[in-house]
Amino acid sequence: MPETLTILTYPNPALRRWAAEVEEVDAAVRDIVARMIETMHANKGVGLAATQVGIDKRIVVLNPAGEESTDMVLINPMITERRGAMEGEEGCLSFPGLCGVVRRSAYVSVTAYDLDGKEIKLTAVDFLARVLQHEIDHLEGMLIVDRMTPESRISIRDVLKAFEESYGKAPSEPGGQS
């Protein structure tokens, strides 16, 4: 079983970086993907971007169904079309315990590469469209707090401040993260 990775939490500056393209799908990329999938499952997530674990690569793993046999891997994903709009509550592994209402496109078309280096194209609506947009946003340094409705941003203001104040504190300090 691959070793899990540490999920970076807000306001870690690495979460704001634009991820680099994957040049070649090789053994190192496959190892990263295996560890990302293990980390996503261990944290009960439905998606994880490489930037969330401090890896500067355009890699996303998804599992919107929540079943291990339905894991999806997207290398260098890019949204090529968006349509419609929907609002819904989202959470994020990089913001433990925080949720807010986010406006997204209701339909997206995405191109990417699989672990064999073959181009794939997929279209998604509703929840899968939401997950894809959320994870691809991470690769571009965009976070859910940037996409939240004004009402949600106001309601989470104190929680964000607490994240910022506790960032970097040792776990033994009051307010530190473990």
List of domains in the chain: 13-166 (3.90.45.10)
Q: Are 30 and 16 in contact, with CB atoms under 8 Å apart?
A: no
Catalytic hit among 24, 119, 135, 165? 135
pLDDT of residue 63: 95
CA pair distance 82, 92, nearest whole angstrom: 22
CA pair distance 139, 135, nearest whole angstrom: 7
Three-class secondary structure of residue 14 per DSSP: helix
pLDDT of residue 137: 98
Q: How many CA atoms lie within 13 A of 31 on its CB side?
A: 5
pLDDT of residue 42: 95
Distances 72 to 5, 12, 48, 151, 164 between C-alpha atoms, Å: 18, 26, 11, 33, 32
Residue 135 catalytic?
yes
The parts of the chain modelled with pLDDT lower than 50 are 172-178
Would you state the structure tokens that stand for residue 149, as one six-digit string? 């409705």
